[in-house]
Chains A and B, each alone.
Chain A
Amino acid sequence: MERKKSKVKRRSKTLQGIIGVFCLAALGFVGVWAFNNAMEGFNASKADPISAVSQVTSRNDSADTGAENASSLTDDTSVVPDESKSEESKADVSGDGSEAESEAGSTPEETEDSSSAAGEEDSSSESEADVPGDTNAGKFPTAAEIKDDFADAVFIGNSRTVGLGMNCGKPLATFYASTGLNVNTIWDSATITLDNGSYGTVFDALAQKQFSRVYVMFGINEVGWPYWDSFQSQYEDVVNKIKELQPDARVYIQSVLPVSSLAINTNAVFTTENIDGLNEFIKNAAANTGCTYLDVNSALRQEDGSLPLEASTDGIHLMKDYCMVWLKYLADNS
């Protein structure tokens, strides 16, 4: 009897063991299944295609009335305080490029907004609608608000004008501008893309077609010249050449835009006093050539005559919003 009982006990223990193993196996299966399903679900969500957000439309008739765009850049700040004292017309003053190394980076990571930074008064900015990404939405004019499309106009100048061309949102306007261009180098500097795709001078480009309006701005690269009367004389030569090539156009001579205190970091010649002084000579050049003088400087200067700090990262080249203020002044006054 005892033997029978122990046999049964042994048997039941064995059976219990087998059942236990089966249960563990079952749990194992369930666990693995759950894990697999969870991984599949995760992978499926990662496989979803990313939707491409189209930011740039593929239709537009931006024209480009002549391919001569402002893409030839320049670095304006190649003003050279030429100590040579030569004063003949077309004195060769070559930019040493030092100013060009503007340490533009005072606020490099700024967003599109330009004037949020300092709360400084910004100059005459009318402003309405939104500028994309501009935290000062509503403070500056937009391309859409400036009704003048400048389709009949050409802008001639240095890198500040290049910047205007890049940021103004006026695809029908023409820009013959180049970084570092001045009233001396304009005669020989072949940096303008012509209609045929080759490079030529500003005058080569102007010979291609007629415009109704010509806006000219030089001076920032010449403010360090030792003789401003020489600058004035050369500027008049340039304007007369423009008038010869564009006999029916209204030619506007723009004052040099102000600079902010940051510009001193580029070159000590960039002071409000120098800018204002040079503008007197530019005004004379306009009068002597029978052209209209447009005081765009007044649209962008603060009370002390300087450019607002937030208008430029290097004190010289305007950020987009301030380019629009400039453009609006031109639209309203010409």
Chain B
Amino acid sequence: MKKQFIAAAAALVLCVGGLASCGGSDSSSKSDAPAASSAAEAQADVTKDAAAIADKLKSDVVWKDQLNELESAMVEKIIGVKPDLYTAGKVYIGAGGATAEEIACFEGKDEAAADSIMEALNKRIEAQKKAFENYVPGELDKLGSAVLVKQGKYVFMCISDENDKAKEIIG
């Protein structure tokens, strides 16, 4: 009887312990909830790393040209995007003249700025089309199907022969 009592008590302790743990994890998960939701909010605020995406485009897409990072001081001059429109970004350009291959990824200051960046990049593509139309018709295909997307305050441009790959990387 004594043994049975001890066995029953031990079983009860285990059950209570288990329930308490679950309850504890519930409560701990409740206390973690604010942190989790703020992390989610933060994630919603920063959903893209423009520079990292530019790097991935450069490394994962096959290029004919050799791409080099464009110095920040040259971005407005070459690409036409003013520095006061973005907080982060990266541009890769080719050797110039051989191909129209290019990458430009920006995190705009806000959505309105991103719209302006889109406009500038559209102008860039049109200028390139004009430059290449009579001399390298093959590049017109790339320019005609250039990947240019705006996602919130982010803008991504990729002029290459692998548009599907580029879109996959940009997400």
Contacts and interface: CB of A to CB of B under 8 A. Distances in A.
Interface of A: 12, 15-16, 18-19, 22-23, 25-30, 32-33, 36-37, 40, 43-44, 47-60, 62-64, 69-78, 95, 97, 100-105, 107-110, 112, 114, 132-133, 143, 158-160, 162-167, 169, 171, 178-180, 191, 193, 199, 312-314, 316-320, 323
Interface of B: 4, 7-8, 10-12, 14-15, 17-19, 21-22, 24-25, 28-29, 32, 35-36, 39-40, 42-43, 45-46, 48-52, 54, 62-80, 83-91, 93-100, 106-107, 124, 127-128, 130-132, 134-139
A191 B131 contact: yes
B136 A75 contact: yes
22 contacts: A22-B15, A25-B18, A29-B18, A30-B21, A37-B28, A55-B72, A57-B83, A58-B86, A59-B83, A60-B73, A63-B77, A71-B127, A76-B135, A97-B137, A100-B139, A103-B64, A105-B63, A108-B64, A158-B97, A163-B98, A171-B74, A191-B130
Contact of A317 (B25, B87, B95): B95
Given A57-B72, A97-B135, A37 B25 contact: yes
Nearest to A132: B69
B71 A143 contact: yes
A50 B44 CA distance: 11
A171 B25 contact: no
Nearest to A78: B135
A101 B142 CA distance: 13
A316 B65 CA distance: 12
A259 to B, nearest CB: 12
Contact of A55 (B36, B51, B74): B51
Given A108-B64, A143-B71, A159-B98, A44 B80 contact: no
A12 B98 CA distance: 90
Contacts of A36: 22, 25, 29
Contacts of A12: 4
B69 A112 contact: yes
A333 to B, nearest CB: 22
Given A49-B42, A53-B49, A167-B95, A104 B135 contact: no
Nearest to B135: A180
Contacts of A180: 134-136
Nearest to B63: A108
With most chain A CB atoms within 10 A of its CB, the pick from B63, B86, B136 is: B136
Nearest to B69: A132
Give the top 3 A-B pairs by smallest Cβ distance, nearest first: A159-B97, A29-B18, A163-B96
Contacts of B19: 29
A163 B135 contact: no
A52 B50 contact: yes
B41 to A, nearest CB: 9
Contacts of B62: 108-109
Contact of A167 (B36, B93, B132): B93
Contact of B75 (A56, A160, A178): A56
A308 B17 CA distance: 76
Given A53-B88, A169-B74, A101 B138 contact: yes
Given A108-B66, A169-B74, A56 B86 contact: yes
A102 B135 CA distance: 11
Contacts of B68: 112, 133, 167, 319-320
Contacts of A167: 68, 93, 95-96
